[in-house]
Amino acid sequence: DSGVTQTPKHLITATGQRVTLRCSPRSGDLSVYWYQQSLDQGLQFLIQYYNGEERAKGNILERFSAQQFPDLHSELNLSSLELGDSALYFCASSPGTEGYGYTFGSGTRLTVV
């Protein structure tokens, strides 16, 4: 157990729908990162939050949004889902904003049908 908790583990939904993925960081970690892993794009950085504030943004679609709450858990919202959004979505956390690498959760596998 890495200490980073992601729910749900699996999600199957239809095109056009909206889903929310949840991440609880390791105790004491202030930064949360979201990554997407797909067969064609590999591991892509989506977005980072640090202590409730957006810190960095990567290849995140406008249909996707995220937030980090006061208790430091984070949610990734995916809307108007398309077949191509099917992927593994990972959350990671780290103590601060230094680039020392971070701890990943076990991921949420999203299947859009």
Q: By the criterion CB under 8 A, which residues form the site for another protein? A: 2, 4, 33, 35, 42-43, 45, 48, 55-56, 58, 90, 92, 94, 97-107
> In a 3-state reduction of DSSP, which class is residue 84?
helix
Minimum CB separation of residue 16 from another protein in Å reads 28
**Paired strand residues for 50:** 31, 53
What is the closest distance, in whole angstroms, from the C-beta atom of residue 104 to another protein in the complex? Answer: 4
Given the complex with another protein, which of 33 and 72 has the nearer CB atom? 33
Q: Provide the minimum distance between the beta carbon of 98 and another protein in the complex, in angstroms, as a whole number.
A: 6
Report helix, strand and coil shares of the chain as percent, to nearest 5: 5, 55, 45
Query: CB-wise, 36 or 78, nearer to another protein?
Result: 36
- If the CB atoms of residues 3 and 84 are measured against another protein, the closer one turns out to be 3
Tokens of 53: 């504030």
Q: Quote the least distance from Cβ 44 to another protein, whole Å.
A: 8
* Contact of 46 with 34, CB cutoff 8 Å: yes
- Token pair for residue 33? 């990162």
In the complex with another protein, the residue whose CB is nearer, 9 or 63, is 9
Q: How far apart are CA 36 and CA 112, in angstroms?
A: 14
